[in-house]
Amino acid sequence: MTTDIKDFRQLDYDIDSIYIKRWSPRSFQEKEVPENVLMNIFEAARWAPSAMNIQPWRFIVARTKEDREKFHSFIMDGNRKWCEKAPVLTLIISDKQDYTHAFDTGAAWGYLSLQAAKEGLITHGMGGFYKDKAREVLNIPEEYDIQALVAIGYQGEKAALPEELQAREKPSDRRPVQESIMEGTFI
């Protein structure tokens, strides 16, 4: 699928193009991700900053048909419609030993998604899954918080999606940067 990002996203300031290149498509090719390419994106996540270098993030990865089917058992129907073609599903969890675990794990997810874009992959993070069921199915101990589920793979054609999702299959823009910044105090 060829998408000209400039048709959808406009920069307020000059940044590296990788930041606007990365978006969250839902259409995946049923094409395996080579081991070295997949490990490159987890290597990038490894280098994310974390408080006291605790590195609280963990990734439970499903690459085989059997493992992906286990993941499908806890994904809500709206997401399952499109993510069943993704060759890799990853549940991101964090060790709750430090109060910044969620913040730090979010940084690791950001690094992972940017490296994936650099590798020619797409990622789509999801909150639409049943955390309790994921904990049960994957035997996740209580000292770990479940953060998000991510589909990883190569971008497929928009036409391969269910019709109700095709119109949404485009990069989104962002509010102007100045709307996110407050100086000195909250408004």
Dihedral sign, CA of 71, 72, 77, 78? Answer: positive
Give the mean model confidence (pLDDT) for residues 132-160: 96
Cβ of 7: how many Cβ atoms within 10 Å?
9
Q: Is the pLDDT of residue 161 over 90?
A: no
Residue 4's pLDDT is what?
Answer: 65
In percent, how much of the chain has pLDDT > 70? 97
Which strands make up the sheet holding 144-153, listed edge to edge? 57-62, 88-95, 144-153, 122-126
Domain 25-162 has CATH 1.10.8.100: no
Residue 5's pLDDT is what?
Answer: 67
Please give the Cα distance from 174 to 101 (Å, whole number).
26
Please give the Cα distance from 134 to 60 (Å, whole number).
11
Run of H or E residues at 131 = helix 131-137
Give residue limits of the domains in the chain: 25-162
In the structure, what pLDDT confidence band is assigned to residue 1 with cuts at 50, 70 and 90?
A: very low
Global pTM exceeds 0.75: yes
Residue, of 111 and 8, whose pLDDT is higher: 111
